[in-house]
Amino acid sequence: MGFFDILVSIFKVFFGEKDQDQSNQPNEHYTSLRAKAKHEGAEMAKCFQQSHEAYARRERALAKELSEKGKQHERTMEALNAEASAWIFRENNLDSKPGEVDLHGLYVKEAISYSDKAIKEARQRGDSQIRLIVGKGLHSDGQARIKPAIEKMMGQYNLPTEVDPQNAGVLIVQLD
């Protein structure tokens, strides 16, 4: 995988793969955090690109400096996205029933992490199933991203999963 492929992968993880809940999406705190993270990601990419160019010109010291600056932008971006995901997850799950987890507003990578944690907690409680609210992809340019990623994850865990017949945006995962 080349340098630019890595950058594209980073952008897909942090910016291109999201499904946002209608009720919390317009929240100024949440959108501000995501916007700041996106800005940091753009600055990171710019620094890494400039570092790559400086290295090609054999300006090693400048390349290292730009790479370190890019890494700092990356750390800031990750911290902002972590804060945003923690906030949206908390807000979306304030009224959730035990064994029900709302993943709206999370990027795919974040949704996978929260789902993994929720499954472990549900098993510790002795739950036989968990309901993951993944959405229908209506806020992801009409293409679900979280749902297929979670279904793939459940397949890797060998956990039977079905779509709730009453709501296509909910996956029911059997834990027994």
33 shares its domain with 8:
yes
Q: With both helix axes pointing from N to C terminus, report the angle between 60-92 and 108-125 in degrees, rounded to the nearest 10.
A: 50
**How many structural domains is the chain composed of?**
2
**pLDDT recorded at residue 149:** 95
63 shares its domain with 116:
no
- Looking at the DSSP assignment, which residues form a beta bridge with residue 132? 101, 171
Greater model confidence, 144 or 131? 131
Residue 4 clears pLDDT 60, i.e. is over it:
no
What dihedral do alpha carbons 105, 109, 114, 118 form, nearest 10°?
Answer: 120
The domain boundary residue, chosen from 92, 109, 133? 92
Q: For residues 78-89, b (16+ Cβ closer than 10 Å) or e, as one string? A: eebbebbbebbb
26 shares its domain with 85:
yes
Query: Residue 10 — very low, low, confident or very high, per pLDDT cuts 50/70/90?
Result: low
Residue numbers of the domain that contains 48: 3-92
71 shares its domain with 113:
no
Residue 84 clears pLDDT 60, i.e. is over it:
yes
12 shares its domain with 79:
yes
114 shares its domain with 50:
no
